[in-house]
Amino acid sequence: MTHEVSPMTHEVFNQPAPLVNYNLFTSNRAMQDAVQFNAPGLDVAELAEFGALLGTSAMQTHARLANLHTPQLHTHDRSGHRIDQVEFHPSYHVLMATAVGAGLHGAPWTNGPHAHLRRAAAFMLFTELEPATLCPISMSYAVAPALQGNTAIAAQWLPLLASRQYDPELKLFSRKPGVTMGMGMTEKQGGSDVRANTTQAVFEADDAWGRRFRITGHKWFFSAPMCDAFLILAQTAAGLSCFFLPRVLPGDEALNPIRIQRLKDKLGNKANASSEVEFHSASAWLVGEEGRGIQQILEMGVMTRLDCALGTSGLMRQALCIALNHASQRSAFGKRLIEQPLMKNVLADLALESEAATALALRLAHAFDDPASTHESVMRRLLTPVSKYWICKRGSHFAQEAMECLGGNGYVEEGGEGIMARIYREMPLNSIWEGAGNIMALDLLRALRKADVGAALAQELAPARGAHPALDRLVTGLPARVEDMATEVEARRLAQDVALAVQAALLFQSAPAEVFNAFCDSRIAGNWGQAFGTLAAHTDFDAIIDRAMPTGHSHDYTSLTPASHLTPTTTPFLESTP
């Protein structure tokens, strides 16, 4: 008698379907409520359309390919001439064209009311798809205020910076339908302390763009070197000054001698080329006053810091959605993961963090929409370092926990399909660049010195007075702590407390009571552990999770595990472990 052996080793089941073809905006209740809170009645049709596009499988494939096939540097052509060009995968250019087409780099400078807020929401949505391409997009957005320091250049470049057409070719700006810009501050011997910059600028002549200098030196980090121009810092006799440095020179249309030495081999942010460069007597034009370069370029830094807060909030939302999608479909110990009490605690806790980050980041963006308001200008100054510090500080911890919701699958890249792994590698970056955590906390102290911050903060928090006893205790003490000005060693704690108070006040006004109460109980009343998943037992986990679900209701999902494979247990882990 012969025994027949099936050639099939196993059936694949209980592996969740990926999260794809969904609308990133209409499925994001927290974002919709935060947008309406800051701009009641705002028409969000464009955001909904953009959200649908970004959720498609085609766009997800472009994001995967742009990160898998990383940029390649070509320093010379085959005849030995310097060309200093970076070649990208075609999907990178599709992503860039999509971001530029949506106005993520320049729309607020030409569009009407709430333009920064609308752009901020769209920027967050795009981050959920692919954050690395947003580096040149963010710098192109951020450069506009600083570039006003040279009116001749601003008149010619700002319209192109706001154009919705993307042209990747390296050629004279006036031959292009749209341009992008980057920035160069960091040198080998100092990044946070740019006063250590050694790059030299020597005056050459005056021309149509103002005072032209020759730049000799280097930059240790120089992201997106295929941008059409950069704002950089260099030393003159008057001190550190800000310069406009184009890649292609007006006149003979020659390449400005900016030598790309190599591309950085980075942990994440793979689709974006970050380079090291040398300037070999490159031509650059003064922007702003000679000797006041730090103040000038910091106008750009303020806006890129906003984008760090927005970017991390977007990444949190994406990681949360992937975790919710997975936990809704995957079963273990007889139940879907999303039904397991302890997993509910983890997911609800992540949802609170994500919603609080969204609320704070969009509140900050709103402050950029009303330059004439004194309150908004104090909020802009105060909440920029606070949001950049706190939201980005929470990002990596968040990504690790969201990844763990997927178990081993979360740690696997598989040709770029493991999006959670990409998010995890990306997360620390927003906390480091544009001023790392300590620099942000110290910048908060500088902000406190400049304006009547205590009174403005009290006004901002007033709507939530009496809503939660722990929040009341925190809020009562804050204006005095702000007025007294913390010492340097206390700066991180102050930044954290201001962030938490503002987040709670925002959630009180824009989120359901169960979200606000759970946030205050955990983050402010101290009824919380050191890890995610430690909310109090009385928390309304289902309400918080349902609000955060990317597609449908958490109960709408059905287990992918055939009933015959389920083994119901009451105390899952302990009873099934030998």
CA dihedral 540, 542, 543, 546 (to 10 degrees): 160
Q: Is 437 in the site for ligand FAD (CB under 6 A)?
A: yes
Q: Quote the DSSP letter at residue 521.
A: I
Is 348:539 a contact under the CB 8 Å cutoff? yes
- Residue-wise burial string across 539-573, b where 16 or more C-beta atoms lie within 10 A, e elsewhere: bbbbebbbbbbbbeebeebebbbeeeeeeeeeebe
- Residue 275 or 559 with smaller CB distance to ligand FAD: 275
* Residue whose pair of structure tokens reads 């919705």 in the numeric block: 164
Does the footprint of ligand FAD cover residue 250 (CB under 6 A)?
no
- Of 153, 156, 99, which is closest to residue 131 (Cα–Cα)? 99
Position 186 contacts ligand FAD (CB under 6 A): yes
Of 429 and 475, the one with the shorter C-beta distance to ligand FAD is 429
Q: Does 266 bind ligand FAD (CB under 6 A)?
A: yes
Identified binder of ligand FAD from the candidate list 20, 83, 436, 566, rule CB under 6 A: 436
Asked if 274 is part of the footprint of ligand FAD (rule: CB under 6 A), the reply reads: yes
CB of 9 to ligand FAD, least distance (A): 43
**Which residues 6+ apart lie within 8 Å of 439 measured at CB?**
192
When CB distances to ligand FAD are compared, the closest residue is 191
Minimal distance in Å, beta carbon 386 to ligand FAD?
15
Considering the rule CB under 6 A, would residue 392 count as an interface residue with ligand FAD?
no
Name the H helices within 368-418: 374-405
- Helices marked H in 406-432: 419-432
Q: Is the Cβ of residue 96 or residue 359 nearer to ligand FAD in the bound state?
A: 96
Closest CB 307 distance from ligand FAD, rounded Å: 13
Helix residue ranges per DSSP H, 24-79? 29-38, 45-54, 57-68
Question: CA 371, CA 367: separation in Å to the nearest integer?
Answer: 8
Q: Quick one: 361 or 442, whose CB is closer to ligand FAD?
A: 442
* Per CB under 6 A, 432 contacts ligand FAD: yes
Interface of this chain with ligand FAD, residues 47 to 106, rule: CB under 6 A: none
CB nearer to ligand FAD: pick between 222 and 398: 222
Identify which range of 124-132, 235-243, 347-355, 427-435 contacts ligand FAD by CB under 6 A.
427-435
Which residue among 185, 284, 505, 545 contacts ligand FAD (CB under 6 A)? 185
Residue 304 sits in the site that holds ligand FAD (CB under 6 A): no
Shortest distance, position 217 Cβ to ligand FAD, whole Å: 13
End-to-end CA distance of the chain: 37
Query: Is 297 within 8 Å of 146 (Cβ atoms)?
Result: yes
The answer to the question of residue 522 lying near ligand FAD (CB under 6 A) is: no
**Sites for ligand FAD among residues 190-229 (CB under 6 A):** 190-193, 221-223
Q: What are phi and psi of 278, to 5 degrees?
A: -125, 145
- Applying CB under 6 A, which part among 15-23, 120-128, 358-366, 425-433 lies near ligand FAD? 425-433
Cβ-in-10-Å burial (0-12, 13-18, 19+) of 100 comes to buried
Q: Which of 71, 136, 149, 184 binds ligand FAD (CB under 6 A)?
A: 184
390 binds ligand FAD (CB under 6 A): no
Report, in Å, the least distance between residue 434 CB and ligand FAD. 6
CA distance 447 to 292: 19
Handedness of CA 495, 500, 506, 511 (dihedral sign): positive
CB of 292 to ligand FAD, least distance (A): 18
Q: At what angle do helices 90-101 and 134-147 cross, to 10 degrees?
A: 40
Q: Is 296 in the site for ligand FAD (CB under 6 A)?
A: no
Q: Which helix (H) or strand (E) holds 434?
A: none
CB of 220 vs ligand FAD, minimal distance in Å: 7
Nearer to ligand FAD, 439 or 525 (CB): 439
Q: How far apart are CA 358 and CA 510, in angstroms?
A: 11
H/E element holding 281? strand 274-287
Q: Which is nearer to ligand FAD, 72 or 192 (CB)?
A: 192
Stretch that binds ligand FAD, among 76-84, 152-160, 187-195, 203-211 (CB under 6 A): 187-195
CA dihedral 384→386→387→390, nearest 10 degrees, is 150
Instruction: Name the residue nearer to ligand FAD (CB basis): 208 or 267.
Output: 267
**Minimal distance, residue 152 CB to ligand FAD, in Å:** 25
Nearest CB to ligand FAD, comparing residues 44 and 185 = 185
Q: Which is nearer to ligand FAD, 23 or 269 (CB)?
A: 269
Instruction: Provide, rounded to whole angstroms, the least separation between the CB of residue 317 and ligand FAD.
Output: 22
**Which range in 63-71, 244-252, 266-274, 503-511 contacts ligand FAD by CB under 6 A?**
266-274
Q: Classify 42 as helix, strand or coil.
A: coil
Number of residues near ligand FAD (by CB under 6 A): 24
Q: Which of 182, 217, 293, 385 binds ligand FAD (CB under 6 A)?
A: 182
Q: What number of helices (H) and strands (E) belong to the chain? A: 18, 11
Applying CB under 6 A, the span of 19-27, 143-151, 180-188, 569-577 interacting with ligand FAD comes to 180-188
Q: Shortest Cβ distance from residue 70 to ligand FAD (Å)?
A: 13
| Alpha carbon separation from 76 to 83, 87, 176 (Å, rounded) | 5, 12, 24
Per-position DSSP letters for 146-213, written without gaps between them: HHTTSHHHHHHHHHHHT-S------S-GGGSS---EEEE--BTTBSS-GGG---EEEEEEEETTEEEE
* Residue 31 three-state SS: helix
List 269, 283, 296, 354, residue binding ligand FAD (CB under 6 A) = 269
Nearest to 59 by CA among 117, 101, 28: 101
Pairwise CA distance, residues 560 & 316, whole Å: 26
Which residue lies nearer to ligand FAD by CB, 239 or 529?
239
Comparing CB distances to ligand FAD, the nearer of 223 and 283 is 223
Three-state SS letters, 190-201: ECCCHHHCCCEE
* SS3 at position 107: helix
| Interface with ligand FAD (CB under 6 A), residue from 21, 198, 438, 569 | 438
Note the residues at the interface with ligand FAD (CB under 6 A).
Answer: 182-186, 190-193, 221-223, 266, 269, 274, 429, 432-439
